Amino acid sequence: MLEQGQPVSLFRNGRNQAIRIPRKYEMEGNRAILRKKEGCLIIEPLLPRNKLLHLLAGWEPLEESFPECIDLPPSPEDVF
């Protein structure tokens, strides 16, 4: 369900129209993606350049142990 909207002020910043984002809607970082869908403006935070490290940093370590694997060399193949 969509949250009830909050009125905001639009203003001019040079030749651009701008919006003041209320504190409760603040996003991390200083960059975002803006797109328009069905007459609505959608603002999404732009993930850091290194998305994999950002993703891995949020994961909790696993508590289970894994069986030891014996890493055998591959079998030779006749390719000709």
Per-residue model confidence (pLDDT) at position 34: 93
Per-residue model confidence (pLDDT) at position 4: 77
User: What CA–CA distance (Å, rounded) separates 12 from 17?
Assistant: 5
Give the single-character DSSP code of 76: P
Q: What is the pTM of this model?
A: 0.50
CB neighbour list of residue 36: distance below 8 Å, 6 or more residues apart = 42
CB 28 within 8 A of CB 45: yes
Average pLDDT value over all residues in the chain? 87
pLDDT digits (tens, 9 = 90+) for 20-37: 999 988 988 888 999 999
Which sequence spans correspond to the domains of the chain?
10-46
Per-residue model confidence (pLDDT) at position 2: 57
Task: Tell me the three-class secondary structure of 20-59, residue by residue.
Answer: CCCHHHCCCCCCEEEEEECCEEEEEECCCCCHHHHHHHCC
Structure tokens at 52: 């994999």
